[in-house]
Amino acid sequence: MTLLLPPNATIGLVGGGQLGRMSAMAAARLGYRCHILTREHESPASQVAAAATISDYQEPEGLRRFASAVDVISFEFENVSAEGLDLLASLRPVRPSPKILRTSQDRVTEKAFLNRIGVPTAPWAAVQDLDGLLAAVAQIGLPAVLKTTRLGYDGKGQTTLRHRDDLAPGFAALSPKPLILEDFVDFAQEISVVAARGEDGGYAAFDTVENRHRNHILDVTLAPARLAEPVDRQAQAIARKIADALDLVGLLAVEMFVDRDGRVLVNEIAPRPHNSGHWTIDACPASQFEMHIRAIAGLPLPAAVRHSDAVMKNLVGPEETALWPAILAEPGLIPHLYGKAEARPGRKMGHVTRLFPRGSLPGEFGITAALGPVAPHGTVC
């Protein structure tokens, strides 16, 4: 049965970060209140929400208090324990379903699921111990990437193994956590698709975008990705296949590699708003955050129309945050700041977007010039 949330209903969001903040802002525009579950006082999301429960994500009493105050529960943060998810789902509708979160929380479960439904990934193997790593390397070869199966993000919990001498130190750095070894993909591009799906199977996918990372953290997103048509079709078809196979109600981001032969391989999926979808706030009538809220509230999903091309640049750490006055003074840059008190190195503090008329995304030089004070590092200005 479709749950149609009436205006003024309360949406519970697990997680207090910037994704929750921007979801709460979109929910407010649709006439909803948001109640945030977070460990932090003064979190980016709770600053713009109607209410917050401050609690650990695994603590039953906190989860119960939170659930009793809301009408439906969703996430901006995926790492709630299986027991915590079951408890929440026993009290209120949870969207996307706990089953989907369990699939995406663990890289082995996630990749096994993707391969089972016929979605290609880099070759991979689960690794329990050093002997297992040696066996996995014999099968997959080097270079390869060794990752923790859970709780990795922005390059945390992973190391690239290039030579046999790297195996023991790489394993020691990440064990005793369960690990996965993945073939190193010599990719031509990293791309992603963000898509929403409603309970009635209604589906809306934003255009495929190109993502560039620096120090394993997303630096720049180009919308749309500059891709050959068949590659773009593969990427969009993969996102649709995953959303349907998961019977998703909510939002899904699919991160993919395009290899040198134009084959698309999935790196990971996230059943929530995604950093590579921030451009949609400024370049689309309904952003990824609005799509998320609409999907979990049972509202109709509009087409994921892009009225402009866009370049989005993250503001990471103290150096890029220090450019804020220059960013504000730069005509045409659309600034977003997340309300975080301290700009620690590697911390995402905000982002800026610049729009271009459809079809006129500039080349490399133009992209760099367009970002003015926050031009990407390592490119010519």
Binding site for ligand AMP (CB under 6 A): 122, 145, 152-153, 155, 182, 184-185, 190, 213, 216, 255, 267-268
Query: Could you tell me the two tokens for 266?
Result: 């999935």
Answer whether 373's CB lies under 8 Å from 321's CB: no
- Which residue, 46 or 314, is less far from ligand AMP as judged by CB? 314
- Which residue, 212 or 241, is less far from ligand AMP as judged by CB? 212
Query: Could you tell me the two tokens for 14?
Result: 């697990």
Length of the chain, please?
Answer: 381
In 160-268, alpha helices (H): 167-174, 229-246
Q: Which residues contact 61 (CB under 8 A, 6 or more apart)?
A: 55
Q: Least distance to ligand AMP from the beta carbon of 147, Å?
A: 6
Q: Least distance to ligand AMP from the beta carbon of 185, Å?
A: 4
Q: Least distance to ligand AMP from the beta carbon of 267, Å?
A: 5
Tokens 């929910």 map to which residue? Answer: 27
Q: Least distance to ligand AMP from the beta carbon of 98, Å?
A: 22
- Which residue, 107 or 197, is less far from ligand AMP as judged by CB? 107
Answer whether 50's CB lies under 8 Å from 20's CB: no
- Which residue, 149 or 308, is less far from ligand AMP as judged by CB? 149
Nearest to 234 by CA among 273, 181, 191, 294: 191
- Which residue, 161 or 299, is less far from ligand AMP as judged by CB? 161
Q: Least distance to ligand AMP from the beta carbon of 277, Å?
A: 15
Q: Least distance to ligand AMP from the beta carbon of 70, Å?
A: 30
- Which residue, 213 or 307, is less far from ligand AMP as judged by CB? 213
Kindly tell me the sign of the dihedral angle through the C-alpha atoms of 200, 201, 204, 205: positive
Answer whether 181's CB lies under 8 Å from 127's CB: yes
Q: Say how far apart CA 148 and CA 307 lie, in whole Å.
A: 39
